[in-house]
A = this chain, B = another copy of it.
Amino acid sequence: MWMPTQLPDIAKPMREAGFRGRAEALADVTAPPLSAVVKVGGGTGAFVSPDGLLLTNHHVAYGVIQYNSSAERNIIDGGFIADGRGDERPSNPDFRVLVTVGFDKVTDEVLSDARGKTGRAYFDAVDAASKRIVAECEQGGDVRCSVANMYYGTDFYRIRQLELRDVRLVYAPPRAIGNYGDEIDNFMWPRHTGDFTLLRAYVGRDGKPADYSTDNVPYAPPAHLQVARSGLHAGDYAMLAGYPGTTFRHRTAAEFDAQVNRVLPQRVAVFDALIDAVESAGADDADIRTRYASQLQSLKNNRKRAAGELEGLLRSDALRLRGEDEAAMLAATTGEDAAGIAELRAILGQADAAAVRDQLLTLVASQTQLLRSALLLERLRIESAKPDDALRETGYQRRDHALIEGVLRQVQRRYAPAAEQALLQVLVSRYQQLPDAQRLPAFDAAFGRTPDSLAKALQTVYSGTRLGTEAERLSRFAQAREGQPLASDPLLALAAQIVAAQLDAEDARKTREGEQLRLRPAYMRALFAWRAQQGRAVYPDANGTLRVSYGKVEALAPRDAVAYAPVTTVAGIVEKHTGQVPFDAPQPLLDAIARGDFAGTDEASLKTQPVNFLTNLDTTGGNSGSPVLNARGELVGLNFDSNWESVSASWWFDPRYKRAIHVDMRYMRWLMDKVYPAPALLEEMGVPAR
């Protein structure tokens, strides 16, 4: 996951891997071709025409599709092809496309005030400088700015992004193509999914970002990618650009140890207990089962994910390997950096000790409905009492009010008192068993220290609260957003105690984070030196900024005697078809496969139509919709998933198992040519129908 600015430094290995372009041309994120790669919703996308046509995943654009679907015209199930530009449909109002137009190093500006400080003061200085830079940058409007922290406090970059607000739906395949296999096939290879959608960005007649209007005109992007006419084969060079979310690969061996031996095992255990609590509460209560169906599904997914991550780290022996690597690095490190690293390790020890407790505190807010509302209200009251947004915590500023109100309104559909108390019972009783050093006085005051006191507190609060009705919550919201005291309620009283505890924990966390911001650069410098000795460059851990990864098409042998080919074909769609969701391939697709008219989009070596392919490219969450390019920089694939064995790659990249799963552009072209035709769009992309 290289920063584009690093690519000239690794031009040699890229060429050796098969790259046929100039690495220097990829270094500037504001110039072609990388300026074609944009942030779309929660993922990535790429412009594919000079008229703002934008390719991303079906699942990234799902909100847009859903927004335009209705009982009369179900375009989720049926798909959508705009009948000319006038028929292109507006997206949901909060959907955004961000075009990066500036990427500048601001390390000195961010750190000048912080130097010489420690702990909380260091944190606050960095935080204030960052907020100041963002505010200055956003003056004049139309750009959204942020400060990105690279190499854990070593470098900071100011990112300027054009925020396109009028984005329209142009082409979406039916759900049973765009999401064929759904949760069952998620994280699975072989896949057979046409997970793509075409949008178009619009701007005002002045060329500036604008809200949706019929007066708007298509946006002329700074660059667009050319769809390739041929595909890739096993071993072929491939590269990918996108906005990966978060990785942890440069964390210390001690942090790997905490993750493998404490954080993930506790996560699995807590999720198991929560799943059990929800299922028991719903065993004889159909209403609870309905209200908690989605939360239960999410708990199960999170549980599976945590177990998969743990399994993967163990399979890769990551803890031992990271430990040996770090020990060798430390042996080669002396002087000030060695001292800094020693200090850092002490700080990380404190963080480790607090990790289990902080995980429980987070779940108390995220896994409850009514208590979460009360916590939101109480925190909103505190933050709103501050004189202006600059001083308010992220998530509680004026611009966040609509979101908070939405949460308060939706409680009704997802809440049952018995289930919420059962969930809290699990979380707080685990908290009660923590060692004294980890306790928060306010939390103890709220629930006491025994199972009896906990049961009694829950009983008192939940039988007494009136927040169960929406009107009561909204009247408190009106008070909270003005920073006024909230009308009394037992659940709000409990929330006030918990928020006090959270603020204590948050304060301690920020102090620790300040120290980490100050000290981690020493660890990174040691790592740079150690890797340089090994002849290797170091990319910063992913942080939502634009990155490039290069590699090749590669098969996967995940287990003894099991080998997966790197390309799937339409034969697999027919094999998986059951007629039942999620394997209900549409009849026009089945008919087209049976006709076998694949000339021009087929894979000659397989004598049939390819669907998805597999590479060893480095990806993580946020890379959904990333364009996959061939050695000449042409668009050959669209990233949309990883294999199950990759779940642990956010911590450890194991080349034996890490793969990324892509839609073959030839499948998209075939669908748009022979199955659900859109000849004008193929023409616009420069790959006309035959």
Q: Does A284 contact B (CB under 8 A)?
A: yes
Tell me if A561 counts as interface (CB < 8 A to partner B): yes
Q: Which of A101-109, A211-219, A562-570 contacts B (4 or more CB under 8 A)?
A: A562-570
Chain B residues in 8 Å Cβ range of A560: 190, 192, 568-569, 571-572, 575
> How far in angstroms is the closest Cβ of chain B from A265?
14
A690 within 8 A of B: no
Q: Is A399 at the interface (CB under 8 A from chain B)? A: no
Cβ contact within 8 Å between A559 and B190: yes
Contact B561 A562 (CB under 8 A): no
**Alpha-carbon gap, A21 to B425, bound state (A):** 73
**Minimal Cβ-Cβ distance residue in B for A611:** B560
Q: A567 — nearest CB in chain B belongs to which residue?
A: B561
Copies held by the complex:
2
Residues A572 and B564 in contact, CB atoms below 8 Å apart: no
Docked Cα-Cα span, A59 to B562, in Å, equals 26
**Cα of A77 to Cα of B563 in the assembled complex, Å:** 33
Residues 267-321 of A contacting B (Cβ, < 8 Å): 284, 315
Interface residues of A in 544-560 (CB under 8 A from B): 559-560
Q: Residue of B at shortest CB range from A578? A: B311
| Complex-state Cα separation, A572 to B566, whole angstroms | 22
**A569 CB contacts on chain B under 8 angstroms:** 560-561
B residues in contact with A563, CB < 8 Å: 562-565
Question: Nearest CB to that of A571 among chain B residues?
Answer: B560
Closest residue on chain B to residue A559 by CB atoms: B575
A360 to B37 CA separation, bound complex (whole angstroms): 63
Shortest CB distance A187–B (Å): 16
Find chain B residues with CB under 8 A from A190 CB: 559-562
Residues from chain B with a CB closer than 8 A to the CB of A562 are 190, 562-565
What mask results when residues 419 to 460 of chain A are scored 1 for a CB within 8 Å of chain B, else 0? 000000000000000000000000000000000000000000
User: Residue A561 contacts which of B284, B315, B559, B572 (CB distance < 8 angstroms)?
Assistant: B572
In Å, the complex CA distance between A375 and B566 comes to 59
Tell me the smallest distance from the CB of A298 to a CB of chain B, in Å. 25
CA A82 – CA B147 in complex, angstroms? 73
Taking a contact as CB atoms under 8 Å apart, the answer to whether B565 and A564 are in contact is no
Question: Closest chain B residue to A284 by CB distance?
Answer: B284
User: Closest B-chain residue to A570, C-beta based?
Assistant: B560
Per-residue interface assignment for chain A, residues 97 to 132, with 1 indicating a CB less than 8 Å from any chain B CB and 0 otherwise: 000000000000000000000000000000000000
Map CB proximity to B onto A631-675 as digits: 1 under 8 Å, 0 otherwise: 000000000000000000000000000000000000000000000
Complexed CA–CA distance, A565 and B562 (Å): 6
Chain A, 566-614, CB within 8 A of any chain B CB: 566-569, 571-572, 575
Contact between B567 and A564 (Cβ–Cβ < 8 Å)? no
A561 to B613, CA, bound (A): 10
Chain B residues in 8 Å Cβ range of A575:
315, 559-560
A320 to chain B, nearest CB (A): 15
Bound-complex Cα distance A572 to B284 (A): 42
Q: Is the CB of A561 within 8 A of B561?
A: no
Bound-state Cα–Cα, A566 to B566, Å: 20
Whole-angstrom CA separation of A511 from B179 in the bound complex: 55
Most chain B CB within 10 A, of A562, A567, A569, A575, is at A562
CB distance from A348 to the nearest CB of B (A): 30
Q: Considering the complex, which residues of chain A in the window 374-426 have a beta carbon less than 8 Å from any beta carbon of chain B?
A: none
A564 CB contacts on chain B under 8 angstroms: 561-563
- Residues in B with CB closer than 8 Å to A559 are 190, 572, 575
A285 → chain B closest CB, angstroms: 13
Contacts of A572 in B (CB 8 A): 559-561
Determine the residue in chain B with the shortest Cβ distance to A191: B561
Q: Which of A192, A284, A561, A575 has the most CB of B within 10 A?
A: A561
Shortest Cβ distance from residue A184 to the other chain B in the assembled complex, whole angstroms: 14
Q: How far, in Å, is A609 (CB) from chain B's closest CB?
A: 11
Closest Cβ of chain B to A642, distance in Å, is 16
CA distance in complex: A224, B384 (Å): 89
Q: Which residues of B contact A565 (CB under 8 A)?
A: 561-563
Task: Kindly state the separation between the CA atoms of A563 and B567 in the bound complex, as whole angstroms.
Answer: 12
A572, B569: Cα distance in complex, Å: 28
Whole-angstrom distance between the Cβ of A555 and the nearest chain B Cβ: 9
Rounded to whole angstroms, the CA-CA distance of A560 and B569 in the bound complex is 7
> Min CB distance, A676 to chain B, in Å?
22
A568 to chain B: closest residue by CB: B561
Name the interface residues of A192-210: CB closer than 8 Å to any CB of B. 192
- 29 A-B contacts, Cβ less than 8 Å apart? A189-B561, A190-B559, A190-B560, A190-B561, A190-B562, A192-B560, A284-B284, A315-B575, A559-B572, A559-B575, A560-B568, A560-B569, A560-B571, A560-B572, A560-B575, A561-B564, A561-B565, A561-B566, A561-B567, A561-B568, A561-B569, A561-B572, A562-B562, A562-B563, A562-B564, A562-B565, A563-B563, A563-B564, A563-B565
Known: A561-B564, A561-B569. 13 other contacts (CB 8 A): A189-B561, A190-B559, A190-B560, A190-B562, A559-B572, A559-B575, A560-B572, A561-B565, A561-B566, A561-B572, A562-B563, A562-B564, A563-B563
Closest 3 interchain pairs by CB? A560-B572, A190-B561, A561-B565
